[in-house]
Amino acid sequence: MSESVLFDSPGPQARARYRLGAAIGAVLLLAFLAFALFKLQSTGQLEADKWKPFVGIPVNDIDANVWADYLIPGLVNTLKAAAISIVLAIVFGFLFGMGRMSQVAVIRWFCTIVVELLRSIPVLVMMLGAFFYFVYYNVFAADLNSLAAVVVGLTLYNGSVVAELLRSGVGSLPKGQAEAGLAIGMTRGQTLRSIQLPQAVTAMLPALVGQLVVVLKDTALGQIITYPELLNTYQQIGSTWSNIVPAMFVIALIFIAINYTLSILAGLIERRLRRRGRSTLAPGGGGAPTLAVAGSGASGFGTVEPEAEPVDAR
């Protein structure tokens, strides 16, 4: 019998073809890596002197520190732009995400058009447009124009993504959640804010943390508008020590380490939420099912127990 409703499990010949394709792909990859290393070696990019600045060994008596003068300031600028953009994108996303679910048609359509439009425009285009606008009209000081443009581009794009995450998170909840809130006399707005929104935020946390990786990587686009972020430092390092390729390799490792840490954080949050969801659904001693609604208490939520039949949350 087939193991899947979509396709049959591969037979001996198919598995042999898969192994052959994998072997050919591995050989081609190794050949490409060998050719790349050969070209780098022929141009002198793999010489020890090219890598000494990154371990604190002076080369040619150059009075400069690659970490203190280039990499760390560039990393600080990258994290600064990412942090500001993340905060503003979350605020933007929640405002327009709530607006997309508004009962007022004008607000709902306006927020929908804005979100869909911003999701369709490349981040670099928004950065360039904001940068030229700021420079032409002298909106900010000269040293802040590039930072402001990077923040604007990242905020608008990622804010629209957060708004869509919020809307899809609320839309994925069982209809019984909203019906139960309406059944106990709450308005649609109260039901959304007190019952649906907290659950949607909890469900979207892993995706939201994953979006932080996108924000951090997209700060590298700031080098196009002369923002001194981390990737932009490879040119300065290369002009000082003539080691552009080692500089790009080290910068890539820094980005990988930060983004991998954020990915691990997203996985931890997802697993914790999954365990919490299982523990919530597990039997707790035979008590009657409860429904979280707005009410008294320190957390702002109370419980309403069904009088005759449990609430159908399907």
**Higher-confidence position of 289 and 120:** 120
Residue 294 DSSP label: E
Q: How many residues does the chain have?
A: 314
Q: What is the DSSP string of 19-54?
A: HHHHHHHHHHHHHHHHHHHHHHHHTTTTSHHHHGGG
> b/e per residue, 235-245, with b = 16+ CB within 10 A?
ebbbebbebeb
- Return d(Cα 263, Cα 217) in angstroms, integer: 13
Structural domain count of the chain: 1
How distant, in Å, are the alpha carbons of 34, 53, 204, 293 from that of 169? 47, 48, 6, 18
Does residue 166 belong to any structural domain of this protein? yes
Whether 278 has a pLDDT exceeding 70, the answer reads no
pLDDT, residue 291, reads 43
What's this model's pTM, rounded to 2 decimal places?
0.78
Q: What is the DSSP string of 154-202?
A: HHHHHHHHHHHHHHHHHHTS-HHHHHHHHHTT--HHHHIIIIIHHHHHH
- pLDDT digits 0-9 by tens, 11-40: 888 899 999 999 999 999 999 999 998 988
- pLDDT digits 0-9 by tens, 137-192: 999 998 899 999 999 999 999 999 999 999 988 888 888 878 888 888 888 888 88
Q: Can you give the residue range of the structural domain that contains 133?
A: 66-277
- Return d(Cα 79, Cα 220) in angstroms, integer: 11
- pLDDT digits 0-9 by tens, 233-260: 998 898 888 888 899 999 999 999 999 9
Whether 41 has a pLDDT exceeding 60, the answer reads yes
Does residue 53 belong to any structural domain of this protein? no
pLDDT, residue 277, reads 64
Does residue 231 belong to any structural domain of this protein? yes
- Return d(Cα 311, Cα 294) in angstroms, integer: 17
CATH code of the domain containing 119: 1.10.3720.10
**Beta carbons within 8 Å of 301's beta carbon, 6+ residues apart:** 194, 292, 293, 294, 295
Find out whether 165 and 207 touch, Cβ atoms under 8 Å: yes
Does residue 74 belong to any structural domain of this protein? yes
Does residue 11 belong to any structural domain of this protein? no
